Amino acid sequence: MKSHHDQKFRSIEGIQQGFEKAGYVCSRQIAATLYLAYHLEKPILVEGPAGVGKTELAKTASTYLGTPLIRLQCYEGLDESKALYEWKYGKQLLYTQILKDKLNDILNGAEGLTLSMSKLHQYDDIFFSPHFLEPRPLLKALQQEQGAVLLVDEVDKSDQEFEAFLLEILSEFQVSVPEIGTIHALSKPFVFLTSNNTREMSEALKRRCLYLYIPFPDTKLEGDIIRVRVPDLSETLRVQMVSFIQQVRTLDLKKVPSISETIDWARVLVILHSRDLNPDMIKDTLNIFLKFEDDLEIVRGHIHDMTEKAKRGF
Amino acid sequence: MEKVLQNLIVALRGSGVRISVSESMDAMNAACLTGYSDRKLLKDSLSATLAKSQHEKEIFDTCFERFFSLDGFSDTKSDSCLKPAAGLGKEDSPLSTMLLSGDNAGLSMSMREAAQETGINGIWFFTQKSLYIQRILQAMGQEGLIQDIQRLNNEDSPFSRQKAGTLKAAKDLLFENVRDFVEQQFSMFAGTATEEIIERYLRHMKLSNLEQRDFHRMHIIIQKMVKRLNNLHSRRRKRSKRGLLDIKKTLRESVAYQGLLFDTRWKAKRLDRMDIMALCDVSRSVEAVSRFMLLFLYSLNEVVAKTSSFIFCSNLVEVSNVFEEYQVEEAVVRLKRGVGLGIQLGRTDYGQAFLDFKKKWLDAVSNKTTVLILGDARNNYGNPQTDILKLINERSKRIIWLNPEPRSFWGTGDSEMDRYLPYCYLAKECSTVTHLERAIDFLLGMGG
């Protein structure tokens, strides 16, 4: 990974601008962490509430670098054969059938079991060679010559066994396949791990990563994000809707609206050709960023005040 | 600069952030990359390498600000200090020269150097403060300053008397500054050291001897303990159940062996998370400990999903909802007073409590339930209703009894402990936090 992209990771400001061009507005802290991760060759563990753009960050990184994004979605029960590699059993079987005659040829003339065995041993591992290896996301990421962005999504959902297994890849960028040996990364991938904090990650894992916490953005940052993602939205409406969303976040809700939901709402406002916020329109579109009946009930009670405030410039 | 970073790391560790050697190396590399010129950038990059959770981030932020605060030498009476700047004499000591010329930057530097020499980051107790103040002053050359003042006092001219006065004022100011500095260093390096000692002491203290002022601290200790134990045991372990073949998996494995069932796979069964019913005595005989028992129940309620809690005295009531509704302190007070719960705080009646339990909640007891009883089994010579306990024992997975009295007291006087004992899977003395921890470790280790 290193030499290919040095130009793109020369300065923190450069990263910020490059990401913005790719459609992701990142705060200085995020840019600084990316910069460090690249130069120290460390994975980044990204935490934060749902919908603040953790996964999006990795996607944008891959666009920015122009390398493939390899994604591994974690879930309970995920194991090596789904994350790392599996043998192509079918292919192995097929090949042994096809090569049956060839086997006869090879063994032709060999007398006795010992002799045939020793003859066979000359070809010993052909069926357990890289040709029959089905690479899964982790191995695939190591095999990319131009480097890759590896996204291990929602790592907190995986079992602890799997977390322990990740350690080797994260620190050494290598994996051990018993039949073949150790496979080193051709080019070190840029690794993102995301976590929603459903459980605490182990010390060992944290130690190997840089830690990045993405909180909900402040008014200015959120405004910038909307500007980049939904450029068709008029400036006045953008300011108003961001102010409205920020107010909603201060209420005591079951689930506060995330950035992705703000973006969705902005898109809806564009489709509806809204000029400015008005309570009726908000009432109709509340369900875009609120996903619980109780929350809807609470916000409905505040719509008028909050719209007023948002219009006055909060 | 490396030394400074190391000191920052020591301070962070002191505040409870766990930092490994490899992480501190990362931090050094990061600092080399970003340089020290941009304060915010340095903070961001150190934060990314050193603080690994949201909680640690907060600690890091305050620690960083305090550590790198620009505490220049403050001189409130600078005017009086600076006036006789012209009166510098050749025989003045370096410290006096700096004080007289108002060289604040130089003073600050020299103070930090002196602090480094005396090893301020080894400060542990507040009693050491004055020692360190003296040491730093000495290292800065206080002696020369005192000599200067004495000499000037002896010289009998108005100019030197005035100069001596200025120097004296400057000396007091210097002392104040050094004291503030040591104070600040102390809060950075020693805050948790003292805390740790108190904590260790509290863990082994009898719960009944604890005082009101330790209540808050105790709560933190218990919470920490429950969280740690839960972390340790919350992992759902799979226990393989030999004897049931997992056909699907075995067939899939067998493809590699030409369909021969070579590598057999067995079905695994997940162990269930535990289900606890806890009964806590809140009568007067256990008054001193009941608050901690309740505290403990509260924490247990927070981390173990299926817990139902009951308190009893003359009768038994369910209180799980109180734990869920109120903050810990309010909940404990409410339960101790029994406000609006329908509990009668008269004579302790274990028999009645068991009868109530049988009547209303016995149906909820299944073979997965662990019944936890916290109490001293002092029944005021009433009917102990041992047969109900026997019934509960038969229906539940097990009964665990934690008694605040030492074992030698069991069965003496009106204690019915000996009669209850046969039906308990485990009965233990539980009078300190360490006891509590061991009992719960055992409880969680059994998988409920």
Interval A69-120: pLDDT, tens: 999 999 888 888 888 888 888 888 888 888 888 777 777 777 778 888 787 7
**What's the pLDDT tens digit per position in A214-243?**
988 888 999 999 999 898 888 888 998 999
CA distance A125 to chain B (A): 14
CB nearest B18 (choices: A96, A203, A211): A203
pLDDT > 80? residue A55: yes
Residues A233 and A106 in one domain: no
Residues A126 and A141 in one domain: no
Residues A29 and A90 in one domain: no
Calpha distance A14→B397 (Å, rounded): 63
> In this structure, which CATH number among 3.40.50.410, 3.40.50.1240, 3.40.720.10, 1.10.10.60 belongs to the domain B275-445?
3.40.50.410
Per the prediction, chain B carries an average pLDDT of 79
Residues A174 and A68 in one domain: yes
Average pLDDT over residues B268-289: 76
Average pLDDT over residues B15-36: 86
C-alpha atoms less than 13 angstroms from C-alpha of B298 in its C-beta half-sphere: 27
C-alpha closest to that of B285 among B383, B401, B405: B405
| Helix-strand-coil split of chain B, %, nearest 5 | 60, 10, 25
The DSSP symbol for A129 reads S
First to last CA, chain A: 46
Judged by DSSP in three states, B15 sits in coil
Confidence bin at B261 (pLDDT 50/70/90) = confident
User: What pLDDT sits at residue B78?
Assistant: 44
User: What pLDDT sits at residue A264?
Assistant: 92
- Take residue B365 and report the two structure tokens written for it: 């007891």
- Taking contacts as CB-CB distances below 8 angstroms, the residues of chain B near A33 are 44-45, 48
Q: Where are the domains of chain B?
A: 2-67, 78-193, 238-270, 275-445
Confidence bin at B112 (pLDDT 50/70/90) = confident
A152 vs B118, more confident:
A152
Domain boundary among A213, A229, A245: A213
Calpha distance A199→B306 (Å, rounded): 18
A8 vs B211, more confident:
A8
CA distance B5 to chain A (A): 17
Domain boundary among A186, A213, A240: A213
Average pLDDT over residues B249-269: 79
User: What pLDDT sits at residue A32?
Assistant: 92
- Take residue B110 and report the two structure tokens written for it: 């020299």
Q: How far is CA B265 from CA B240, B244, B247, B252, B253, in A?
A: 10, 9, 8, 10, 8
Instruction: Give how many domains chain A has, as a whole number.
Output: 3
Confidence bin at A263 (pLDDT 50/70/90) = very high
Average pLDDT over residues B224-248: 66
Do the Cβ atoms of A200 and B23 come within 8 Å?
A: no
Q: Which burial class, exposed, middle or buried, applies to A279 when counting CB atoms under 10 A from its CB (0-12, 13-18, 19+)?
A: middle
Confidence bin at B190 (pLDDT 50/70/90) = low
Give yes or no for a contact between B323 and B249, defined as CB atoms under 8 angstroms apart: no
Instruction: Provide the percentage of residues in chain B whose pLDDT is more than 70.
Output: 83
User: What pLDDT sits at residue B232?
Assistant: 65
Do the Cβ atoms of A211 and B53 come within 8 Å?
A: yes
C-alpha closest to that of A146 among A85, A188, A193: A188
User: What pLDDT sits at residue B254?
Assistant: 83
Do the Cβ atoms of B45 and A92 come within 8 Å?
A: no
User: What pLDDT sits at residue A33?
Assistant: 92
Residues A282 and A239 in one domain: yes
Residues A293 and A224 in one domain: yes
Confidence bin at B158 (pLDDT 50/70/90) = confident
A10 touches chain B (CB under 8 A): no
- Taking contacts as CB-CB distances below 8 angstroms, the residues of chain A near B16 are none
Residues A55 and A183 in one domain: yes
- Residue of B38, B45, B248, B303 to mutate, interface with A, max A Cβ within 10 Å: B45
* DSSP-derived pairing of the beta strands A149-153 and A69-73: parallel
Give yes or no for a contact between B17 and B50, defined as CB atoms under 8 angstroms apart: yes
Alpha helix locations (H) across A144-217?
A: 160-172, 203-208
Residues A283 and A141 in one domain: no
Residue whose token pair is 């061009």 = A21
Confidence bin at B85 (pLDDT 50/70/90) = very low
Judged by DSSP in three states, B21 sits in helix
| Partners of B34 in the β-ladder | none
Residues A72 and A162 in one domain: yes
User: What pLDDT sits at residue B76?
Assistant: 46
Give the residue from chain B lying closest to A11, CA to CA: B34
The DSSP symbol for A26 reads -
CB nearest B33 (choices: A28, A39, A206): A39
Contacts of A117 by beta carbon, 8 Å cutoff, 6+ apart: none
CB nearest A93 (choices: B33, B47, B258): B258
Q: Domain containing A99: what range?
A: 86-132
User: What pLDDT sits at residue B73?
Assistant: 61
Per the prediction, chain A carries an average pLDDT of 86
Contacts of A128 by beta carbon, 8 Å cutoff, 6+ apart: A87, A179, A180
User: What pLDDT sits at residue A59?
Assistant: 92
CA distance A172 to chain B (A): 14
| Partners of B280 in the β-ladder | B311, B374
- Taking contacts as CB-CB distances below 8 angstroms, the residues of chain B near A45 are 52
pLDDT > 70? residue B448: no
Residues A101 and A199 in one domain: no
Average pLDDT over residues B243-256: 81
Domain boundary among A132, A148, A170: A132
User: What pLDDT sits at residue B194?
Assistant: 64
